[in-house]
Structure 1
Amino acid sequence: MRLWHEKLIQLLPSQQLLGQHRECCALRGNGWGKPHSTVNYIFNYSPYKLYQYHLKVIHEMKRRGYNVQPLWEEPTYRGKSAERHSNLESITCTDDQTDKEKIYPEHNEEYFNECIDNLQKKGIYIKLSEK
């Protein structure tokens, strides 16, 4: 159970991208608030942040030609068996990748490197473009 660093979403192999979608669905649904060491930080924020992160995953899936249940693009939707959020405030966030403007501040350079290491241990090597 992990949310990949936001900069990696567009670089993930299909299996990890689809797994990230399932993870987001579970966390937005009845998994919200259930502790797990690698994602506990998300519970310190509004569920709207998870929705914003999930939208990045959904947009990448669509870009690759996958079909996604449109209900997941609604901020209050939590799946078939979970009650919708009633008072969900929208939170402004930009796509800029500076630490202050990311969805989760925990997705910093150290976390990025941790994710890269985790992928490499799975035999997945992400080609990072030089900037």
Structure 2
Amino acid sequence: MRLWHEALIEKLPRAQLLGQHRECCALRGKGWAKKHSTVNYVFNYSPYKLFQYHLEVMNEMKIRGYHPDESWFDPLYRGQKCEAYLELKKITQTLPIYPEHNESYLESCRENLKEKGIII
């Protein structure tokens, strides 16, 4: 489980981009607040931030001709197996979306991809 640094989203190969979409879906659904060392920081923030991040992933998918389920474009949606949020306070998007996505994290993500044979 990993959320790639958002500066890499538009550069991710197909498999990693689609995997990131699945990861976001899982985290927005039943995976919310289930601890995992690489994504624990996500749970320190409103689920709306995860929606913002997921939106970046889905927009890139659309650019590449993929068709993510339109339901995920609703910030309240949590998948077919979770009740939707009744409300989520809209948060102004920051850059980066998560403060943890700093230069050090960017380099860590690049190294992780490099280990997989992907040079970005």
**TM-score interval, normalised by the smaller of the two chains:** over 0.9
Once residues 70 and 11 of structure 1 are traced to their aligned partners in structure 2, the CA distance between those partners, rounded to angstroms, is 23
Aligned length in residues: 120
Q: TM-score, normalised by structure 2?
A: 0.98
Structure 1: which 5+ runs fail to align? 95-100, 127-131
How far off is 1:85 after superposition? Answer: 1.1
How far off is 1:86 after superposition? Answer: 1.6
Structure 2: which 5+ runs fail to align? none
Match of 1:32 in 2: 32
Query: After superposition, where does 1:29-108 map in structure 2 within 5 Å?
Result: 29-94=29-94, 101-108=95-102
Once residues 37 and 111 of structure 1 are traced to their aligned partners in structure 2, the CA distance between those partners, rounded to angstroms, is 14
SS in 2 for 1:91: coil
How far off is 1:64 after superposition? Answer: 0.1
**Root mean square deviation of aligned Cα:** 0.7
Match of 1:115 in 2: 109
SS in 2 for 1:54: helix
CA shift digits 1:66-105 (9 cap, x unpaired): 01100000000000000111231000015xxxxxx32100
Q: TM-score, normalised by structure 1?
A: 0.90
